[in-house]
Structure 1
Amino acid sequence: MAEGATPSHDHHDTPSSDQQTQAAQPASAAFHSGTYVVQVPKNQIYRVPPPENAVIAERHRNPAHNATKRPCGSCCRLSCSCVLPLLILVLVLGLIAGIFSVLLRPKDPIFKVERVAFNRLNSYPEYDIRLRAKNPNKIFGILYKKGGVASLSFRQREIAKGNYPTFYQDHNNSTVFGILFRGSNNVVLPTEIEKSMKTQKPKVQVSFSIKMDVMARMRIGLLNSGSMKLAVACDLTVDTLAKDTRILTQKCRTERRL
């Protein structure tokens, strides 16, 4: 080596000042703030199981408890097995009642007019008529259903309407019931009715016709026959409409219609 020459060093053997500074810094100082994407292997991803899995696991843990719970199909089969015998029983009872009604031939009820009273309130004429229904059958009761209508006529002209009541009548029984016939204020009363309600001496007789359409059933115990329609007609004559009306003559008839 020549005198006064500066000794030379290999570049790779001696690190530079920048490299020494970076080496002296801790490892955490090499990361800066920002957004990073972290990739995780698929076999380390854990998922939350759906709620259905919990129900399945519960069934496996408690098989005895699950046995008491029947599925919808079993419930349907059970309900069908219960309803079907009831339907068959109802059909059999209806058939028996129909056979009884045909073979025994129940009689129609008999009607009679008991009392007639005339009122006139607020220009609306009212006829309060009481009738008696007699059931001549020895084993059949009669059920008078809803929907029965009645009308009152004078000389084949309707002057008032009413409703037939609903009630049950036992065998060999007589029942008294009332029907309130109401007229309209638009209907002009016939002259005979005006005279009969105002004149007591001499009394003025008046004749009426009552028509009733009644829906009924024959009954033996818990057995009911099919519905039948009864057409009832009564022709009667009263001595007066003023006071203490008395029925002079009457005739009632009952017909059964299909």
Structure 2
Amino acid sequence: MADQQKIHPVVDVEAPPPPTAPLVPPGSSTSEKGHPLQQHPPPLQHTFPVIHSTPPKRSRCCKCLCWTISLLSLLLIILGATAGILYLVFKPKLPKYSIDSLRISDLRLNFDMSLYAEFDVKITAYNPNKKIGIYYEQGGMLSVWYTKTKLCEGSLPKFYQGHQNKTVLNVSLTGQAQSGSTLMTALQEQQQTGRIPLDLKVDAPVAIKLGTLKLRKVRILGECLLVVDSLSANNLISIKASNCRFKLKL
């Protein structure tokens, strides 16, 4: 019996591939010709914003802050305008002071080696204002210093100074300073040069009178740098140089 040989079909590798059916996603329908039907997307769901019946807390805080800033700005404008009007009407000027004379009644060492000093100072106070009066209140002080050591101090009198008025004040100063031996030696050495630097400091509480209105208290702070020729007791001292500066402290 002759051998049987199977013949396999030859595949043409150059032939184009057979057409394939289009892929249809699961759940989609097709037409009669096999084409997938076009499906429409689901309708969009519109969301509407929620309208609050009351404004948020942050909005209320911002509104309150804006009102506060506006009120403060308005208040500052009113105060500035008032101050400007008062300045133009009254034209305020600082009072002027001069040290007329300085006399030493006593300057000696105590048994405890402290330095005792007693000075008499004559001051002229001048109010240059035409429409402003000055009340010098209780508690004003005048002190004399050598370098950074206070030698003596005294109280300024309480009085009222009218418009463009000159008032002469006689103030007695007393005091004790520690390390008296060292201070006395330094003063004696300085006296040999004929130029002794002293510092007079003024601290005076005053009240300003505008017309019939008396304002609250302020302070006049002053400093007079003096150069005297001697510190001999019971002698009138010559003031060789004087430089005074004053300012108003609210």
When normalised by structure 1's length, the TM-score is 0.54
Alignment correspondent of 1:23 = none
- Matched to 1:183, the amino acid is G
Alignment correspondent of 1:68 = none
- Matched to 1:165, the amino acid is P
- CA offsets 1:124-173 (integer angstroms, 9 cap, x no match): 32011111111110111111101112221111222212212211111111
Alignment correspondent of 1:245 = 237
Alignment correspondent of 1:229 = 219
The one of 178, 197, 213 equivalent to 1:207 is: 197
The one of 173, 176, 183 equivalent to 1:181 is: 173
* 8 Å Cα contact 2:207/2:215 also seen in 1: yes
What SS does structure 1 have at the residue aligned with 2:101? Answer: strand
The one of 96, 106, 109 equivalent to 1:110 is: 96
- CA offsets 1:161-212 (integer angstroms, 9 cap, x no match): 221221111111111102222121645143243467xx8xx67331110111
Alignment correspondent of 1:88 = none
What SS does structure 2 have at the residue aligned with 1:183? Answer: strand
Runs of 4 or more, structure 1, over 4 Å off, are 97-103
Offset, 1:244: 2.7
**C-alpha spacing 1:209/1:138, structure 2 compared with 1 (3 Å):** same
Task: State how far apart, in whole Å, the 1-side matches of 2:187 and 2:100 are.
Answer: 20
Task: State how far apart, in whole Å, the 2-side matches of 1:244 and 1:203 are.
Answer: 18
Offset, 1:224: 1.0
* 8 Å Cα contact 1:153/1:209 also seen in 2: yes
Aligned-residue sequence identity (percent) comes to 28
Residues 1:190 and 2:184 are matched in the alignment: yes
Residues 1:256 and 2:242 are matched in the alignment: no
- Matched to 1:212, the amino acid is V
Alignment correspondent of 1:91 = none
- Matched to 2:150, the amino acid is E
* 8 Å Cα contact 1:98/1:226 also seen in 2: no
- CA offsets 1:94-140 (integer angstroms, 9 cap, x no match): xxx98875443411111110000012278532011111111110111
Consecutive unaligned residues in structure 1, runs of 5 or more: 1-96
- Matched to 1:118, the amino acid is I
Task: State how far apart, in whole Å, the 2-side matches of 1:253 and 1:205 are.
Answer: 21
**C-alpha spacing 1:236/1:149, structure 2 compared with 1 (3 Å):** same
Consecutive unaligned residues in structure 2, runs of 5 or more: 1-81, 111-115
- Matched to 2:130, the amino acid is K
- Matched to 1:126, the amino acid is E
* 8 Å Cα contact 1:203/1:240 also seen in 2: no
Residues 1:129 and 2:121 are matched in the alignment: yes
The one of 109, 133, 139 equivalent to 1:147 is: 139
- Matched to 2:187, the amino acid is I
When normalised by structure 2's length, the TM-score is 0.56
What SS does structure 2 have at the residue aligned with 1:190? Answer: helix
Alignment correspondent of 1:219 = 209
- CA offsets 1:11-67 (integer angstroms, 9 cap, x no match): xxxxxxxxxxxxxxxxxxxxxxxxxxxxxxxxxxxxxxxxxxxxxxxxxxxxxxxxx
Residues 1:164 and 2:156 are matched in the alignment: yes
What SS does structure 1 have at the residue aligned with 2:94? Answer: coil
Alignment correspondent of 2:24 = none
